[in-house]
Amino acid sequence: MGQETAAGRDASAEADAPQGRDASAVWGYRRDPGVHPPLDYPGYRSTALRHPQRPLKVLPHLLTEVTGPLLGEDRIGPLDHDLTRGHDGEPQGQRITVQGRVLDADGRPVPHTLVEIWQANAGGRYRHKGDNWPCPLDPNFTGVGRTVTDAEGRYSFTTVRPGAYPWKNHDNAWRPAHIHFSLFGRAFTQRLVTQMYFPGDPLFFQDPMWNSIPDPQARERLVARYDHALTQPEWALAYTWDIVLRGRESTVFEHELALEDDD
C-alpha cells in the first residue's frame, strides 16, 4: 500500500512541535459531494419538516473528526451474523447469504469494523410496534444482525430475502426490498447508514429513497449482485455487495483557521 499509518508516522511527534507534524497535522477525508441524497427532497414527504433550512457550515477534519469508535468483537455474539438462527425454528422465506467487502475510496479494505443490519421478514413486515400492515409476523425471525469485518474487510450474513412493503408516502407506495446497513469505518467522518437493494426490483421507479440519489450510477451502487459462484447448492442464494466509505486525503493537510461558509 505504500502508505504509513498515522500512528507510525507520528509516534514521536509532540503536540507543540515547531511546525508540521504535530497534532494538528492530521489526514482529513476526501469529501464526496454529489453522491448522497439532499436533506430536502420533496418526493420523500417526511423530509419537509426535518431538513435544515440554513446552509451547512464546512467542518474541517480535525482530531475529533479523523478518529472514531473502533467497535469490534466485543459488540457481537457468535450467532449475530445469522438471522435465520436463534429462534425455535427456521424463518419462512428464501434463504440467502449477503457478503462483500467494506473498502475505502482508495480501494483499501476496512478491517475489524462493525457492520449492523436490520430488515423486514420475507413478507415485508418489520418486528416493530409501528409496522401494522396486514402481513404476518414470523415467530422465527427478528430481523437484526451484526458482524465485524475480517482483516481483508470482508463481511457475511445469512438471512432471508426481505419482502417489499407498502407505506403512505404517495399513492400506492411500496418500498423495494432492502436491507438496512450501518457502518462505522475508522473515523467519525466515515460513518454511513444506507440500504442495500436487490437486482431488477420493479419498484425502483416510484421509490423516493432510490430516486433521491442524484446520480443514477450512484443508485446502482446500492444494488447487490446475484453471485452464482457463492450460491450454496440446495441451501442458499448468494448476493454480493461491496460498500465504499470515504477515503483519506492524499497529503497531510495543514488546516487553515478560517472556515468557509457553504453558501
Partner 1 sequence: MEPTTPSQTVGPYLHIGLPWPDGPYALREGAPGGVWLRGTVTDGAGAPVPDALIETWQADPEGRFDHPDDPRGAVRRDGFRGFGRCPTDDEGRWAVYTLKPGPVPGPAGSAASAGPSGPSGRPVLQAPHIDVSVFARGMLHRTVTRVYFPDEEEANGRDPVLSSIAAPQERATLVASATEDGYRFDIRLQGEGETVFFDI
Q: Which residues are catalytic?
A: 126, 165, 175, 178, 180
User: Which one, of 194, 128, 196, 193, lies nearest residue 162 by Cα?
Assistant: 196
Q: Which is nearer to partner 1, 117 or 236 (CB)?
A: 117
Size of the site for partner 1 (CB under 8 A): 103
Contact, 166 vs 173, CB < 8 A?
Answer: yes
- 193 three-class SS: strand
Q: How far apart are CA 226 and CA 236, in angstroms?
A: 11
- Among 21-29, 132-140, 151-159, 225-233, the segment contacting partner 1 (CB under 8 A): 21-29
- Closest contact distance (angstroms) between CB of 150 and partner 1 is 19
With contacts defined by CB under 8 A, name the span among 64-72, 85-93, 155-163, 224-232 that binds partner 1: 64-72
Cell readout for 189 is 467522518
Smallest distance from the beta carbon of 211 to partner 1, in angstroms? Answer: 11
Tell me which of 67, 156, 231, 240 binds partner 1, using CB under 8 A: 67
Residue 194, Cβ neighbours under 10 Å: how many? 16
Measured between alpha carbons, how far is 66 from 216 in angstroms, rounded to an integer? 30
Residue 193 backbone class (left: φ over 0; alpha: ψ -120 to 50; beta: rest): beta
92, 156, 194, 240: which one contacts partner 1 (CB under 8 A)? Answer: 194
Contact at 8 Å (CB) between 185 and 169? no
Q: Which of 1, 2, 4, 16 binds partner 1 (CB under 8 A)?
A: 16
Cβ pair 80, 148 in contact under 8 A: no
- Cβ at position 235, least distance to partner 1 in Å: 25
Residue numbers 85-144 binding partner 1 by CB under 8 A: 103-107, 116-118, 120, 126-128, 130-131, 142-144
Site mask for partner 1 (CB under 8 A), range 31-60, x = bound: xx--xxxxx-x--x-xxxxxxxxx-xxxxx
154 binds partner 1 (CB under 8 A): no
d(CA 55, CA 41): 15
Closest to partner 1 by CB, 25 or 237: 25
Give, as one character, the DSSP assignment of residue 93.
S
CB of 95 to partner 1, least distance (A): 20
Please choose, from the candidates 174, 185, 167, the residue with its C-alpha nearest in 3D space to the C-alpha of residue 247: 185
Least gap, CB of 227 to partner 1 (angstroms) = 18
